Structure 1
Amino acid sequence: MKKYLILTVTAGNGHNSAAKAVKEGLEKRGAEVKIVDLLHEYCDDKMFIWIQETGYGIACQHFPHLYNAFFRHYQKADPKKYYKSPVQPGVFKLYDKLLKLINEYQPDAIYASHFLPCVMITNLRKLYPIPAKVYSFVFDYAVCPFWEAATGIDYLLVPNESYVPTMVSKGFKREQIMPYGLTVNEKFSKKIDKEEARAKLGLKDGIFTVLVMFGGGFWSGNYKIVKNLVKHIKGRSLQIIVANGKDEKSKKRIDKLKPSDSIKIINYGFANNVDILMSAADAIIGKAGGVSVTESLNKYLPMICCKKLPEQEAVNVKMLVREGAARQYKNDKMLIEIMNELLNNPRQLVEMRENVARIRRPNATSNLVKDMLADETDYSQVKDVDYAEVNAQIKRMLKKGKGEPLQKKQKAKNTINKK
């Protein structure tokens, strides 16, 4: 049985969700898979973990202008000075553990759902052979900072061909870039008839249905959105599905709302059937992370997104709006205006769905899994390593700003846009 290693970091829900999606795809096809959260498993720097898991969310929600300024600043980093990247010091003590994990588990291929493992493997490969092919993806429809320090992986998935020049400017070679789309659970690519999905949820067919998913983590906007819809949508039938995630407070407050007879609300806490909720909806109001956007696109679901977003999500929305697959609102009044437009002019929604169909890449995960299953790795040439010296050697190498990857040149995979 082939073995695969998936490396993740908990920084929001998206990275772990992508890791689980690939794990499920591999396991369904008979492979053995091991997921390791690098920071939870190996890191004893509590402040670094806090920054990744909690500080990120706080910065995005409460200090977006500051967060976005840092984001844009580091997007411009010089690829030749990768060794000065601010992400380097946080993982200095983890290199020995990661290398030992790879050499002992001996996976046939590795998938990383966060850039930190990619940065580490890039540095390790300058001193130690890692024969397994390493795959990752860019997480968003924006190119996030720090990828210039992660060019030593083998293959990087991007949303489409238009992202190739940017990644090449970051230091990647064309043959490393795979324009498959972004990896999400394959269930979002399976068609479920809208009438069937609504029947499962106790909803009526033929009535405009909106899914509200703005809860969980540090983002808690569901109650305010639903309250405004209930208050201001007049004279029209409307069905509202709400997925609150971990936001128990919003769940309880929405339960207490008393909508008119023309409005029906189905209010979930944490939902495990989001693919069915999306299949039942005509549009979604929510955040715009890379995973959420891709799940919505794969389900042919137009998006309605707010304007106050962290930089990477703002870029995601700009792409969707530019392609005619989303609408964006600045305030509560504008949201109601957009909803009334869609209710009164169904043709707008049809056009948005047509645009979604044009830009979606529903087979990214299945294509990636297929490529990974074709990999078979020989570790017989890997020599014994003095793991006690690994961290110090990496640190010295980065201090000198030198080192070339010890990996062989790989043949380019078929990077035709697979739809």
Structure 2
Amino acid sequence: MKKVLIFTASTGGGHNQAATSLEEEFIIQGFNVTKVDALKETSKILDLLIADGYKVLAKNLPKLYGGLYKISDKKRINNKVTNIITKLVRKSLYEKIKKNDPDLIIATHPFIVNVVGSLKEKNKIHIPFISIVTDYHIHQTYVNRNVDAYIAGSNHTKECIIERGIPKDRIYSYGIPIRKDFLKPKLVHKNDDAFTILLMGGSMGVRSIKKVLKNLVNNKNKLRVIVVCGNNRLLQKRLKRRFKNVYKNKDIIIYGFTKKIPILMDKSDIVITKPGGLTTSEAIAKKVPMLIPYMIPGQEEENADYLVKSNMAIRVTEINNINDIINKITSNKEILDTMRDNMQKVASNHSMGNIIELSNRLIKDYETEWRVSYGK
């Protein structure tokens, strides 16, 4: 049984979700899989600084986070930062690799890329290495010549990676890994004529999502609004108290954490969300056009730019104007039809099966060229 070692990190949920989706598929395909939160298990200090630091900055100081994201995207500065991280965790990560003795290593977080890349550079390991890019643009932290294959969410992402100097034959537009449920044909259909909106983005806090909902309930049209608050129980409680069963010709349904997102997307005409890589990939797979009224500066801004330019999403620059956009969409069916067609074109390239096939090929190539060994 071939062994796969998947490294992730807990800066936002997307990296872990992608790792879990890969883990599930590799197990189905007969692999022995180990998933490791690399920062948590190698350096508690770094995990505190990076993972917890991300959560604090993204939630409370998003502009500062966006500035740090852009500064660290510069090659010279990025090299200094990633080299420090590599020196701090390389030994521990190397021990994890030796202990697991994998046939393949996959990273769903960019901070792992330089660490594994340096071990390959120093001939400490001779193992195929795949990097999963979990956004639609690429940050300099992902770039390392020792990566054997990059999995990109779109052809646009592939071009961005090529611009950073990575050979195009190492880049595969197989899609950001998402749960299988999002890849299934539509399971449910609406049973009435109410325009249905799926509203997500609880991690942005109470104010933004509450402001969107406050505008939607004042829309003149008959609307069904399905709100998903995730683990934000305070948000769920406040929204239920404020909006539940009080508006004429509006059906407001409020969830906390739920695993029913694929079904809720099937029921929805549009999704209003922040543009995280995983959430937007799920929407693309389900062909549900997006409205983007809020985002964290940095990678989410870049994702939004791509989605809007590709006509799969509409950017809402002012939440108070969101009803104008809703009214335009509901009165012109062709707008959403065109957006769905664009999503279908992107989604048609996505395949977890292709990722498995690529993995098998890399393992076979390495077995032919190398005897798996470790440096002293």
TM-score between both structures, scaled by the size of structure 1: 0.81
In the alignment, which residue of structure 2 is the partner of 1:77? 75
Aligned CA distance change for structure 1 residues 224 and 191 (closer, same or farther; 3 Å): same
C-alpha distance after superposition, 1:2-29 (max 9, x if no partner)? 2111100110000000000101111122
Where 2:88 maps in the other structure, the secondary structure is coil
Computing the radius of gyration over CA atoms, which structure comes out larger, 1 or 2?
1
Aligned CA distance change for structure 1 residues 383 and 145 (closer, same or farther; 3 Å): closer
In the alignment, which residue of structure 1 is the partner of 2:129? 134
2:58 is aligned with 1:60 = yes
In the alignment, which residue of structure 2 is the partner of 1:28? 28
| Structure 2 counterparts to residues 16-415 of structure 1, below 5 A | 16-45=16-45, 48-78=46-76, 84-148=79-143, 150-195=144-189, 198=190, 204-216=191-203, 221-230=208-217, 232-234=218-220, 236-256=221-241, 257=243, 258-306=245-293, 308-361=295-348, 363-374=350-361, 375-376=363-364, 378=367, 380=371, 382-383=373-374, 385=376
Query: Residue 358 of structure 2 aligns to which amino acid in structure 1?
Result: D
Aligned CA distance change for structure 1 residues 219 and 298 (closer, same or farther; 3 Å): farther
Aligned CA distance change for structure 1 residues 167 and 85 (closer, same or farther; 3 Å): farther
Structure 1 unaligned segments of length 5 or more: list them: 199-203, 386-419
In the alignment, which residue of structure 1 is the partner of 2:10? 10
Aligned CA distance change for structure 1 residues 380 and 259 (closer, same or farther; 3 Å): same
Q: Partners of 1:364 and 1:52 in 2: how far apart?
A: 31
Q: CA deviation at 1:239?
A: 1.0
Query: Residue 264 of structure 1 aligns to which amino acid in structure 2?
Result: D
CA RMSD of superposed structures (Å)? 2.3
Q: Partners of 1:151 and 1:110 in 2: how far apart?
A: 15
Q: How many correspondences in the alignment?
A: 370
Where 2:288 maps in the other structure, the secondary structure is coil
Q: Partners of 1:322 and 1:126 in 2: how far apart?
A: 38
The sequence identity of aligned pairs, in percent, is 26
Query: Residue 153 of structure 1 aligns to which amino acid in structure 2?
Result: V
C-alpha distance after superposition, 1:305-364 (max 9, x if no partner)? 025531211121111111211111122221121112222323322222122222335634
Q: Partners of 2:102 and 2:206 in 1: how far apart?
A: 37
Higher relative helix content: 2
Q: Partners of 1:221 and 1:36 in 2: how far apart?
A: 34
Q: In the alignment, is the contact (CA less than 8 A) between 1:220 and 1:247 conserved in 2?
A: no
Aligned CA distance change for structure 1 residues 77 and 17 (closer, same or farther; 3 Å): same
Query: Residue 62 of structure 2 aligns to which amino acid in structure 1?
Result: P
Structure 2 unaligned segments of length 5 or more: list them: none
Query: Residue 206 of structure 1 aligns to which amino acid in structure 2?
Result: D
Query: Residue 166 of structure 2 aligns to which amino acid in structure 1?
Result: F
TM-score between both structures, scaled by the size of structure 2: 0.90
Aligned CA distance change for structure 1 residues 306 and 30 (closer, same or farther; 3 Å): same
Q: In the alignment, is the contact (CA less than 8 A) between 2:173 and 2:350 conserved in 1?
A: no
Q: In the alignment, is the contact (CA less than 8 A) between 1:186 and 1:366 conserved in 2?
A: no
Question: Which segment drifts farther, 158-167 or 49-58?
Answer: 158-167
Q: In the alignment, is the contact (CA less than 8 A) between 1:307 and 1:314 conserved in 2?
A: no
Where 1:86 maps in the other structure, the secondary structure is helix
Query: Residue 67 of structure 1 aligns to which amino acid in structure 2?
Result: Y
Where 1:88 maps in the other structure, the secondary structure is helix
Q: CA deviation at 1:271?
A: 0.7
Question: Which segment drifts farther, 162-171 or 347-356?
Answer: 162-171
